[in-house]
Amino acid sequence: MQEGSGRFGGDMDRNEVEMDLNKFMSMIQEIGELKEKIRDLEDETNVNPWQKVIHLARAIDAWRIFPRIFVVVYIYLMYESVIWFMNLPDPNLEQSALVSVVVGAMGVVFGVYSGKSGQSKGFKGEDK
C-alpha cells in the first residue's frame, strides 16, 4: 500500500477507485476552499466599487461615441474648407492642394470608421 500512496487505483469495470486517505482528505479540503472562494465572489457585499465605471466604459466602446464624434468633426472641417475654397476669388495651387487632401482624406476617415477589422464585424454581429 505504501508504494502507491499518492496514486489512484481501482477497478474501472465496477466504478471503484482506491485512493490514499491523506490524498482524499486533501482533495476534500481543496474542494471546500474552492467553494469558499466562490461564495466570496458571489457575495453581494463584495461588489467592485468601479463596476459602474466599467459599465460606462463598455457602453462608450459599444456605442462608438468617440469615432462618431471624430467623423462628425471631420465632416465639419471638410465642409468649412470646401466653402472657404469656393469663396476664394483666385485660388492658387497650394490652396487647391490643401482642399484636395482634406476631401481625399474623408474617404480614408470613413473607411477606417466603417472598417473591415474584426472589431467592427463583432459590433455589427457578422462574426457569429
pLDDT tens, residue by residue, 24-37: 899 999 999 999 98
The 10s digit of each residue's pLDDT in 45-70 is 667 788 889 889 998 888 888 889 99
Q: Is the pLDDT confidence value at 1 over 50?
A: no
Instruction: Please give the average per-residue pLDDT across 93-99, as a whole number.
Output: 95
Residue spans per domain, the chain: 12-46, 51-124
| pLDDT at residue 126, as a whole number | 56
Q: For residue 122, what pLDDT band results from cuts at 50, 70 and 90?
A: low
The 10s digit of each residue's pLDDT in 70-95 is 999 999 999 999 999 999 999 999 99
Is the entire prediction scored with pTM above 0.75? no
Contact 83, 102 (CB under 8 A): no
| pLDDT at residue 121, as a whole number | 55
Angle between helices 51-63 and 65-86 (to 10 degrees): 40
Please, which residues have CB within 8 angstroms of residue 7's CB and are 6 or more apart in sequence? 20
